[in-house]
Structure 1
């Protein structure tokens, strides 16, 4: 069910889409945090969205089958090919006639399924092939899988048409709201590469961070914290990997690289500031001294809904800020000594090539070891830094191929596992 050829995304949606039109959606990572919240948006807006296909790892097979039966999805992709038969059985029990697609190839096929928009909510490096498949099939991509852009930056940028990626990370959704706008009448020309967005007045991007559960602690105070402590995020409810990444600030480092790639702003003009209330999600500072900020309570349903319905908004996606209640918002500088992940990410982003893939892969291995009690909390970023440092001097192309990225990912994981085994 692939469409041949690539369409002009902005042109098609602007000319044919109205706010109340039904938007056909493919949800990747449907049983995870992003996917389940996306389905909450779908349920709350009957007639606004139609789910064409779902994809998930397969670990929550019952939930995946329930989702397929509820939405009437035509296809269900299971990344763990060994769980595909179980999912097929559960689908049959629920009366679903959805086609079952197995393995990474199946998820990529789902990503190119006929639809208006693909929401990629897969966690980690596994999302890269799906991101590329959706872009190459000409789909609008609502991107929550930041890792695919970060590790495959040149590949993703080469595959994407202007305006084809809508960021779903709350920080990048916020930046997009505050970034210089191109009038709607010019979007078609922009999609055809004829007009450049006017960004000369942007001085810097300011990405906010909650600070996680360990805000205010020095490095020495972090030595004894465990998985239960790291998973106790004060404002956001997320999956275990991204929650630990938030605690180490690795997630914020990844977001700096993502902002650099999405908005073409130099890394030295992107700053992270700690904002524990998580109401202001990011800001754009202009050369005249003014700053535009996007504010909303910490709910991913707002950027998810916007990503699925772009260029229109979904009414009541989440409650707004209560301006009748007294409240205080605070901002403070990031302690780079206690949380060195952001500076390391800036170095990695500047290096380019496969360096971001190495950073991400080493971190995924280190986080897994930490969650299993085999690595201390400070050693997560220490391990990433060691693997990244050993990459310097390696001979690799400036514009890596998918095979180059996969090979760098595998080498980084192998080296990280060696270092973790020694530390155990």
Structure 2
């Protein structure tokens, strides 16, 4: 069995650390040869030594220069008795991008936020498959990302549990046999609350997710259902399914990760306990041809001997308007998805800083879409539907305009 060489971007985050666990458990299948992170130098150094990585990068190393990081690597090697194999250290804002452009069989992009776009493009332009946990890359870059993949033949392999579930279920039929995709949502910590009740929830409450353990931004996005909106746009782009054929249903138990309904009335679901190691392993085990070798024991299966109940319910779209706003942005096309994502990132930060209420996150996204994707004077380049004309500069300009607009809303 050939070893797959992996570059891991965002190695110190939630998905990144679980990807490290998957690689360490399967050393005969996966070799993480390059790592990149943000500012957590201590954990990055520890991972590099444990994995035997040859290259590492840090986008925000603080006061640590290359000499200091080499000293830390040597100290970690001495502590663990493992060799320090790091030959190259990249530092600064472009560190992740340079790591992603290096030699690997697959780049796992586990960065959170639009900042991961350049790394995704760097990998695709190098002709390297991308296991995509950084959904914002596809949301913001959209046609730019898809065009880069098409030019080089590199594959985009979903890592989100929902899209991994869809990819697995789609293997059961032809594209013209698919009636619709059904994306499941846990409902987050505020399921069942009214819009009025949501205005008084706190940042601490927003971070108590009922089933998943994730970072601040993704957990908050789950609470607002922005995350589900992003997943709808991602599903449209990954699987080329019209928005009218993508539905969202609340499934609080998070056991069914998504479903594919076929034209004959059959619905196929991917089922497992909520554990990101399973979709990570599935993505890393998928080769250039699309064939997948499953990883034995990647995650614990369901216990079918214990009584259990699964429930489903519709989304309360009045209390959680961010989902419909995502459909609106996706259908508009152009740079509207970039505006949606960028405004949300600023508003989530403002919410956690105590500057706006929970409900104002959705209100701010709506205001940004109204101002920047309509026919008014504030419309940004690329806000129309001419997606074939979009460039990296265009989508980044839209991203910047949306962030500026959202900051103005917060400052009022």
Q: TM-score, normalising length from structure 2? A: 0.91
Supply the distance in 2 between the matched residues of 1:244 and 1:302 (Cα, whole angstroms): 23
Shift of 1:395: 5.5
C-alpha distance after superposition, 1:274-303 (max 9, x if no partner): 000000000011111111111000000000
Aligned to 1:91: 73
Aligned partner of 1:73 in structure 2 is 53
1:181 deviation in Å?
5.2
SS at the partner of 2:249?
Answer: strand
Correspondence list, 1:401-420, <5 A: 401-420=391-410
For each residue in 1:14-67, what CA deviation from the matched residue of structure 2 results, as whole angstroms up to 9, or x when unmatched? xxxxxx321111110000001100011112123221111001111x11111111
Shift of 1:103: 2.4
Query: RMSD of the alignment, in Å?
Result: 1.5
Contact 1:84 1:101 in 2 (8 A): no
Give SS of 1:297's match.
coil
The answer to whether residue 188 in structure 2 is matched with residue 228 in structure 1 is no
* Structure 2 Cα separation of the partners of residues 403 and 411 of structure 1: 12
Match of 1:344 among 299, 307, 325: 325
Aligned residues: 387
Contact kept? 1:84, 1:100, Cα under 8 Å: no
Q: Does 1:104 align with 2:93?
A: yes
Cα separation, partners in 2 of 1:91 and 1:291, compared to 1, 3 Å? same
Residues 144-183 of structure 1 show CA distances to partners (whole Å, capped at 9, x for unaligned) of 000000110111110114671110000000000111458x
Is the alpha carbon distance of 1:395 and 1:117 closer, same or farther for their aligned partners in structure 2, counting shifts above 3 Å?
closer
Matches within 5 A, 1:15-164: 20-58=1-39, 60-80=40-60, 82=62, 85=65, 87-95=69-77, 96=84, 97-161=86-150, 164=155
SS at match of 2:94: helix
Q: Could you tell me how far apart the structure 2 residues matched to 1:105 and 1:388 are?
A: 29
SS of 2:165 mapped into structure 1: helix
Any stretches of 5+ residues in structure 1 without a counterpart?
Answer: 1-19, 183-197
Quote the Cα distance in structure 1 between the aligned partners of 2:41 and 2:92. 14
Give the Cα separation in 2 of the matches to 1:343 and 1:359.
11
Query: CA-to-partner distance for each residue in 1:291-330, whole Å, 9 max, x for gaps?
Result: 1111000000000011111121110000011111110000
The 3-state SS of whatever aligns with 2:93 is helix
Q: Distance in 2 between matches of 1:258 and 1:108?
A: 22
Aligned to 2:368: 387
Q: 5+ residue gaps in structure 2?
A: 78-83, 287-291
Asked if 1:218 corresponds to 2:209, the answer is: no
Distance 1:320 1:77 in 2: 35
Q: Does 1:320 align with 2:301?
A: yes
Deviations 1:335-388 (A, max 9, x none): 000001111000100111111111111100000111111111111111111111
Query: Which position in structure 2 is the counterpart of 1:396?
Result: 381
